[in-house]
Copies of this chain bind each other. A is one copy, B any other.
């Protein structure tokens, strides 16, 4: 199970707001059916790594379709294969419990 965070930013837009482009990327992710969580700095996705990277490649194209000519995309992969609890929920739960117990 891979957990991947992606953030996509267009460069060279006249306006510093990029939310319209981010929403367009998230529409593609939502329609893919992949389990994901939006946070203020990116979107975390959970699932099969090849499937996730294929959807991210489509998300990366979305700003170009809206007229942008340069896109910066950051992809961070946490791929763990020895633990069934390696999930979005599991990772947050184990750290939160350790914090609460201290």
Contact = CB atoms under 8 A, between A and B. Distances in A.
Interface of A: 3-5, 7, 9-20, 22-23, 26-27, 30, 37-42, 44, 46, 49-50, 53, 57, 60, 64, 68-83, 87-89, 91-92, 94-96, 98-99, 102
Contacts of A87: 40
B74 A74 contact: yes
B5 A42 contact: yes
B94 A27 contact: no
B49 A95 contact: no
A97 to B, nearest CB: 8
B70 A40 contact: no
Contacts of A95: 19, 22-23, 26, 38
